Amino acid sequence: MIEIYTDGASRGNPGESASSFVFVKEGIAFKFSSFYLGKATNNIAEYKAIIFALKDALSSGFKEVLLTSDSELVISQINGKYKVKAEHLKLLAKEVSELSERFSEIEFRHRKRENKFVRIADKLCNLMLDSVCLR
C-alpha cells in the first residue's frame, strides 16, 4: 500500500490556486507533483489535488492507497460524514468516488498540517503559487 498526501491552496477565495501531492512508501517520499489551477476556491484545489493524485496512482499501477489530506471538509465529504451541498463540488466528489472504485483498497484520512508529508504538499502548493504570483 502506498500513502498519498495531498494539499490544495488558494490565494484569495477564489483566487490563484494550486494542488499538489506526495507519494510515500515505507516512510520515504518518492514522487512529488504540483499543478497550477488558475482562479479557484480552496475547496476546489483540495478536491483537484485528490483527483490528480488518484489518477496518477492508477496510471502507475497502484491498487491499494491510503490518501491523507489536511482538509477536514473534503475528507469528511468523501467519507460520507458530511453532505456535499455546494453544486460546484458535487461533480468533483463524484469524480473522486468513481476513481475510488478502481482501487482494490482505498482509505481517506484527515491529518493536520503538522504531519511532515502534509507540510511537504503544502510547501509544493506555495512554491507553485509563488512562481505564478511573483511574475
Tell me the longest C-alpha to C-alpha distance in the chain.
43
Return the percentage of the chain with pLDDT > 90, whole number.
93
What is the per-residue pLDDT for 133? 75
What is the per-residue pLDDT for 13? 87
Average pLDDT for residues 76-97, to the nearest whole number? 96
Strands 15-25 and 64-69: unpaired
Listed by start position, the domains of the chain span 2-130
Class of domain 2-130: alpha beta
How far apart (Å, rounded) are the C-alpha atoms in residues 125 and 36?
8
Write the single-letter amino acid at 47: Y
Confidence category of residue 5, pLDDT binned at 50, 70, 90:
very high
For the cut 70, the answer to whether the pLDDT of residue 135 exceeds it is no
What is the per-residue pLDDT for 63? 98
How far apart (Å, rounded) are the C-alpha atoms in residues 85 and 133?
31
**In which residue are the cell numbers 488518484 written?**
54
What is the per-residue pLDDT for 114? 85
